[in-house]
Amino acid sequence: MELGQRMKTVYKLGGRNFWIFNTGPIGCLSYMLINFFTEKDSAGCLKAHNEIAQQFNNLLKQAVYQLRKDLPLASITLIDVYSVKYDLISNAAKYGEPPHPKLVN
C-alpha cells in the first residue's frame, strides 16, 4: 500500500498530524562507496546515486503537495533529511570533523 493511501486511512480514523521524512544522500553511505565505483561529486559521494535520491525526494514533495489538498484538515510536514545530511558530509570540517581521506576524491 502506498504512503498516500496509508495516510488517508489514518486520516479517516482521525489522524491529523503527519511527519514525512525524505531520503538522505544514499550516494554518501559507506556501503555504497565500498561497493560501487562510479563518478563522485565534490563531497566524495556517488553522483548518480544521489541524483536518484533527489529525484525520489522531488516526487515525494509533489505527493505531499497533493496530500495537503486531499486531506485539508491535516498538518503534513515534510522533513528534508537529504539537505541536512549532505551539508554535514560536504562541510564536515566546518562542523569540527575533517573529512575522512579515503572517502574524498
Nine-digit cell at 96?
Answer: 569540527
Q: 73-96 b/e with 16+ CB inside 10 Å = b? A: ebebebeeebeebbeebbebeeee
pLDDT in tens, the chain (105 residues): 588 999 999 999 999 999 999 999 999 999 999 999 899 999 999 999 999 999 999 999 999 999 999 999 999 999 999 999 999 999 887 887 665 656 555
